[in-house]
């Protein structure tokens, strides 16, 4: 789409799956992309593919469950490109297991990556977008943002949270010309870790 040409887009969870596909599509449309995830080697592979296609990609490894790393991601993006036009909060994972068989660590990890990571990404990038009075945030939800499923309680809770969080924050920032959306895909054939 022409509206992405020459934009600067941060994509979390960009090392594989939906995130890597979004990065490739945005790059083809002319967006300069900042690729972030925990696995630097995988990010480099995605960046090389984008470069081969004529796009521009910056790799900034970060764990979205660590706010200091998310802040650093935003800072490095601004150092390189001078602005951030779009943030795609995509990082996340799920564990399919009945609640009584889930460990506390598994529950925490799903809530942290799927919800806390979205909250941190928005918190880190919004001061810049508010100052510029423009920006677009796309939070990747799920069909689980609207429907409940057995064996996915923590994941469903996190994705319901993404929808509510996005709607609430949008009411705070729309007066600055900032748009926020939640994309809610159904099942996708991709790895979740």
CA angle 131, 72, 13 (to 5 degrees): 100
Q: Is 176 assigned a catalytic role?
A: no
Which one of the listed residues 120, 149, 152, 155 is annotated catalytic? 155
Residues contacting 161, CB < 8 A, separation 6+: 111, 114, 115
Edge to edge, the sheet with strand 32-36 lists: 57-59, 32-36, 8-12, 86-89, 135-140, 178-183
Residues contacting 94, CB < 8 A, separation 6+: 110, 114, 152, 155, 192
Contact 150, 107 (CB under 8 A): no
Contact 23, 46 (CB under 8 A): yes
Q: List active site positions.
A: 155
């Amino acid at each position: 789409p022409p509206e992405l040409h020459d934009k600067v887009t941060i994509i979390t969870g960009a090392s594989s799956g939906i995130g890597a596909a979004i990065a490739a599509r945005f790059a083809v449309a002319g967006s300069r992309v900042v690729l972030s995830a925990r696995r630097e080697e995988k990010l480099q592979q995605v960046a090389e593919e984008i470069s081969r296609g004529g796009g521009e990609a910056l790799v900034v490894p970060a764990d979205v469950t660590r706010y200091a790393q998310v802040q650093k991601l935003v800072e490095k993006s601004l150092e390189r490109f001078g602005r951030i036009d779009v943030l795609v909060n995509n990082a996340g994972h799920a564990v399919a297991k009945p609640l009584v068989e889930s460990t506390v660590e598994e529950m925490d990890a799903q809530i942290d990556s799927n919800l806390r990571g979205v909250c941190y990404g928005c918190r880190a990038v919004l001061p810049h977008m508010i100052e510029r009075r423009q920006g677009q945030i796309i939070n990747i939800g799920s069909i689980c943002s609207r429907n409940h499923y057995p064996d996915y309680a923590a994941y469903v809770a996190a994705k319901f949270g993404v929808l509510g969080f996005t709607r609430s924050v949008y009411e705070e920032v729309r007066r600055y010309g900032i748009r926020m959306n939640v994309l809610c895909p159904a099942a996708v054939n991709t790895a979740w870790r």
